[in-house]
């Protein structure tokens, strides 16, 4: 049953990806609307899969790298759909849906097999830490995409090169709003994820901080996001500065999630 649910969700992710890309090529809003409903179907079925998987295994759906990829695919889809309801900006779906599909493909490699729960994951703080952090990263991914689009749209407008591609992009105001809200909520979730992680680390390793490469790179990204949130709220930063900082911070965060385990020895290498 679980395998079938995940395969259905994967198929819907694929259909929504094709639909969103087609909507850009033929410039039809109706196709984008249909693709949004298909993505919602993928998210809904994926949600049922996660609940069933959780009930079957007895632990949260983040016990290994592949389950984490599945959770991020689910999170970023849900985050995008929530923003789409608020802003009616569907063009981001042409980037979010393929990303969710690729993550789900990666998760499908070994997701279906039996997975034993790592000893370090036993306990509530591990689950809280990982799920909050991954959901925060999904929000930061959306902020990253909005930031890239903002810089592109801003560049086209400044060069007075407003051609057909510029017209299909969201307005600078909408992109800045998406970037701001996604960074704000992502920072909130990552902060509490880090706090939960420090409590978990104390129970596993005896103290909250070990100068682990993953801790250091996460802290670097967190500080940049903290600066961005402060400057937006206290000074009123908008536009290119905010977009650029959100891109830099996400690149560091992406390296934390993917690159640290490849290039460094880390205490977090138990997935």
Domain boundaries of the chain, sorted by first residue: 1-115, 118-271
54-68, 88-102, 236-250, 255-269: range with lowest mean pLDDT: 255-269
Q: Give the three-state DSSP class for 267.
A: coil
**pLDDT of 113 higher than 60:** no
Q: Given this model, what pLDDT does residue 154 score?
A: 85
How confident is the model over 38-52, as pLDDT tens digits?
Answer: 999 999 999 999 898
21-25, 54-58, 129-133: range with lowest mean pLDDT: 54-58
How many other CB atoms sit within 10 Å of the CB of residue 41? 17
pTM: 0.85
How confident is the model over 142-185, as pLDDT tens digits?
Answer: 999 999 989 988 888 877 766 656 667 778 888 898 899 999 99
Half-sphere exposure of 46 (CA within 13 A, CB side): 31
Decide: 6 and 49 in contact? Cβ < 8 Å. yes
Tokens standing for residue 65: 């790298």
């Amino acid at each position: 049953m679980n395998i079938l649910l995940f395969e259905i969700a994967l198929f819907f992710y694929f259909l929504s990806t094709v639909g969103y890309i087609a909507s850009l090529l033929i410039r039809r809003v109706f196709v984008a609307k249909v693709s949004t409903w298909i993505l919602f179907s993928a998210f809904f079925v994926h949600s049922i899969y996660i609940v069933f998987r959780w009930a079957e295994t007895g632990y949260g759906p983040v016990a290994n790298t592949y389950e984490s990829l599945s959770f991020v695919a689910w999170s970023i889809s849900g985050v995008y759909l929530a923003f789409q309801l608020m802003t009616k900006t569907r063009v981001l779906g042409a980037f979010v849906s393929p990303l969710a599909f690729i993550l789900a493909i990666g998760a499908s490699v070994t997701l279906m097999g039996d997975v034993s729960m790592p000893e370090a994951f036993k306990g509530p703080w591990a689950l809280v830490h990982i799920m909050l952090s991954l959901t925060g990263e999904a929000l930061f991914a959306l902020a990253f995409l909005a930031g890239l689009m903002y810089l592109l749209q801003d560049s086209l407008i400044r060069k007075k090169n407003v051609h057909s591609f510029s017209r299909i992009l969201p307005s600078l105001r909408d992109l800045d709003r998406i970037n701001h809200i996604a960074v704000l909520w992502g920072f909130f979730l990552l902060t509490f994820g880090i706090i939960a992680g420090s409590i978990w680390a104390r129970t596993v390793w005896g103290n909250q901080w070990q100068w682990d490469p993953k801790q250091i790179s996460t802290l670097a990204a967190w500080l940049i996001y903290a600066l961005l949130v402060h400057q937006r709220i206290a000074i009123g930063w908008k536009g290119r500065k905010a977009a650029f900082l959100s891109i830099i911070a996400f690149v560091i965060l992406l390296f934390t999630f993917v690159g640290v385990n490849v290039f460094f020895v880390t205490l977090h290498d138990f997935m």
